[in-house]
């Protein structure tokens, strides 16, 4: 079971028919009734999500090359080029040489941050900021 169905607005109508339909459509899912207005069932939805999340294999244990989906690029005076994004697979460490696509340009990792904290290595699944250096980066 890797799904949770939250049947909302349980305070306005009997959630039983929607719960039955959800169970029929997604038999592997856990269906939970809740109401955002009253708060009833919200803790049960959170607990169901925790149970599902505990069984999902974290990206950081998946092997492979670093794949960083970049959503911002900017320059910091004195530091150079910084990119931010979600590290989809692999890991990024200070000193790594990464191939940037498109264009096949190679850059050296000068520094890595996760949530504004410097780290030596960032595992997949994290939002990261990577400071690139270009000097001496051309070897793979």
CA-nearest of 11, 71, 7 to 38 is 11
Mean pLDDT, the chain, whole residue set: 89
Question: Does 140 map to a domain?
Answer: no
Please write the tens of the pLDDT for every residue from 113-128: 999 999 999 988 889 9
What local confidence, expressed as pLDDT, does residue 50 receive?
92
Residues 122, 74, single domain; the answer is: yes
Question: Does 65 map to a domain?
Answer: yes
Question: Does 67 map to a domain?
Answer: yes
Question: Does 115 map to a domain?
Answer: yes
Whole-model pTM: value is 0.58
Q: How many structural domains comprise the chain?
A: 2
Residues 73, 108, single domain; the answer is: yes
Please write the tens of the pLDDT for every residue from 54-113: 887 666 666 678 999 999 999 999 888 999 999 988 899 999 999 988 888 899 999 999
Compute the average pLDDT of residues 19-45: 95
Residues 30, 92, single domain; the answer is: no
Rounded to 5 degrees, what are φ and ψ at 12? -100, -25
Helix-then-strand count for the chain, H and E: 2, 10
Residues 65, 121, single domain; the answer is: yes
The domain in which residue 42 lies consists of 4-56
What local confidence, expressed as pLDDT, does residue 62 receive?
62
Q: Are the beta carbons of 101 and 131 closer than 8 angstroms?
A: no
Question: Does 138 map to a domain?
Answer: no
| C-alpha span between 70 and 6 (Å, rounded) | 32
What local confidence, expressed as pLDDT, does residue 140 receive?
46
Question: Does 38 map to a domain?
Answer: yes
What local confidence, expressed as pLDDT, does residue 78 receive?
86
Q: For position 80, which CATH number holds? A: 2.40.30.10
| C-alpha span between 101 and 60 (Å, rounded) | 22
């Amino acid at each position: 079971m890797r799904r949770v169905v939250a049947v909302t607005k349980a305070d306005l109508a009997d959630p039983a028919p929607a719960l039955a339909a959800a169970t029929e459509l997604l038999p592997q899912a856990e269906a939970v009734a809740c109401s955002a207005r009253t708060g009833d069932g919200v803790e049960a939805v959170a607990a169901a999500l925790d149970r599902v999340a505990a069984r999902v294999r974290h990206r950081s244990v998946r092997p492979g090359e670093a794949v960083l989906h970049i959503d911002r690029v900017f320059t910091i005076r004195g530091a150079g080029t910084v990119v931010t994004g979600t590290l989809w697979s692999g890991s990024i460490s200070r000193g790594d040489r990464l191939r940037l696509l498109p264009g096949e340009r190679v850059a050296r990792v000068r520094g890595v941050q996760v949530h504004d904290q410097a780290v030596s290595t960032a595992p997949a699944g994290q939002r990261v900021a990577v400071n690139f250096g270009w000097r001496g980066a051309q070897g793979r």
